[in-house]
C-alpha cells in the first residue's frame, strides 16, 4: 500500500466516523429538547460535523482524482485535519466545563 493509498484509507475511515457522528448528534439534539443551552451547542457541533464530513470527502476526491497535485492535496488535507481537531477539542472543552452542571440539572429533573 502506498502512502497515498494509506492516507485515502484513513480519510475514508474518518469520513465514516463523521457521518456516524451526524446521526448520533441528531438524536442527542432531540433528547436535549428540555435543555436549550445543550441543544444549541449540539446543533452548532452538528453543523461543524457536517462540514467536517464534506471537507474529508473533498480531500478523498481530490487525492483520488488528481494524482498530479498530490503534494498540494496533502497540505490541504493536513490543514483540514487540523481544523477538525481544533473544533472537536473545543466541543470537548465545552462538555468538560458544563458536564457537572448538566448532570446536576438532570438529576434534579429526575428527582422531582
Model confidence, pTM: 0.69
The residue segments making up the domain with residue 76 are: 3-111
Residue-wise pLDDT tens digits, 76-92: 877 888 888 999 999 99
Q: Which residue shows C-alpha cell 468538560? A: 96
Q: Are 38 and 105 in contact (CB under 8 A)?
A: no
Q: What pLDDT, on the 0 to 100 scale, is given for residue 65? A: 36
Q: Are 96 and 44 in contact (CB under 8 A)?
A: no
Q: Which residue shows C-alpha cell 462538555? A: 95
CA distances (Å), 50 to each of 32, 90, 101, in order?
19, 16, 28
What is the 8-class DSSP label of residue 66? -
pLDDT average, residue stretch 59-66: 74
> Directed axis angle between helix 70-111 and helix 36-65, to 10°?
160
pLDDT average, residue stretch 2-19: 87
Mean pLDDT of the residues in the chain: 85
Residue 46 predicted with pLDDT over 80:
yes
Q: In total, how many domains does the chain have?
A: 1
Cα dihedral 76, 3, 11, 88 sign: negative
Amino acid at each position: 500500500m502506498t502512502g497515498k493509498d494509506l492516507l485515502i484509507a484513513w480519510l475514508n475511515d474518518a469520513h465514516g466516523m463523521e457521518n456516524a457522528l451526524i446521526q448520533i448528534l441528531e438524536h442527542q439534539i432531540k433528547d436535549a429538547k428540555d435543555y436549550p443551552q445543550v441543544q444549541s451547542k449540539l446543533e452548532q457541533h452538528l453543523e461543524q460535523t457536517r462540514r467536517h464530513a464534506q471537507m474529508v470527502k473533498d480531500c478523498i476526491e481530490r487525492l483520488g482524482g488528481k494524482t498530479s497535485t498530490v503534494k498540494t492535496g496533502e497540505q490541504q488535507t493536513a490543514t483540514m485535519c487540523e481544523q477538525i481537531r481544533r473544533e472537536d477539542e473545543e466541543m470537548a472543552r465545552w462538555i468538560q466545563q458544563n458536564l457537572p452542571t448538566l448532570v446536576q440539572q438532570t438529576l434534579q429533573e429526575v428527582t422531582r
